[in-house]
């Protein structure tokens, strides 16, 4: 899948996987790939800046840890982040339903 289709929905995905439990960036990428059945394989250059953005917006908080010589920045969902997740989830539902309605009337190309 072309990744750029993510536009506007990346935050929802990131918040969703972190809602499941605190995670560091690399783990977020892996988790997203797993849960989406390989559909989402996001480049680091997409995820890290987005996490910074979400932290700045107070949707996530972070802390450093050192695990066997590797430094990790682990992100946790804040209260605001949890609320945002709920809202974004609803708006995703509305959005996808609306698209579905528009598409409903359109016939698929003839496949005899």
Partner DNA sequence: ATCTACCCATAGTAATACTAGGTGTCAAGT
Partner DNA sequence: ACTTGACACCTAGTATTACTATGGGTAGAT
Least distance between its own copies and beta carbon 4 (Å): 6
Specify the long-range contacts of residues 28-35, CB closer than 8 Å, at least 24 apart. Answer: 28/75
Least distance between its own copies and beta carbon 54 (Å): 16
Q: How far is CA 35 from CA 29, 63, 65, 75, 98, in A?
A: 10, 25, 25, 18, 24
Angle at 54 between CA 53 and CA 57, to 5 degrees: 90
- The dihedral through the CA atoms of 2, 7, 13, 15 has a sign that is positive
Binding positions for its own copies, 53-112, rule CB under 8 A: 82-83, 85-86, 89, 91-92, 94-99, 101-106, 108-109
Q: Give the x/- contact pattern for DNA in 53-72, rule: CB under 7 A.
A: x-------------xxxxxx
Least distance between its own copies and beta carbon 50 (Å): 14
Tell whether residue 111 is a contact of DNA (CB under 7 A).
no
Least distance between DNA and beta carbon 48 (Å): 4
Binding site for DNA (CB under 7 A): 2-4, 6-11, 24-27, 30, 42-46, 48-53, 67-74
């Amino acid at each position: 899948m072309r990744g750029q289709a993510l536009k506007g929905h990346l935050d929802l995905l990131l918040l969703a996987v972190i809602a499941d439990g605190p995670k560091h960036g690399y783990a977020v990428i892996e988790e997203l790939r797993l849960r989406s059945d390989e559909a989402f394989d996001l480049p680091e250059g997409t995820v890290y800046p987005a996490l910074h953005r979400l932290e700045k917006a107070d949707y996530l908080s972070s802390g450093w840890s050192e695990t066997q010589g590797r430094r990790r920045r682990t992100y946790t969902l804040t209260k605001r982040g949890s609320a945002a997740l709920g809202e974004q989830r609803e708006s995703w539902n509305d959005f996808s339903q609306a698209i579905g309605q528009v598409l409903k009337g359109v016939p698929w190309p003839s496949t005899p």
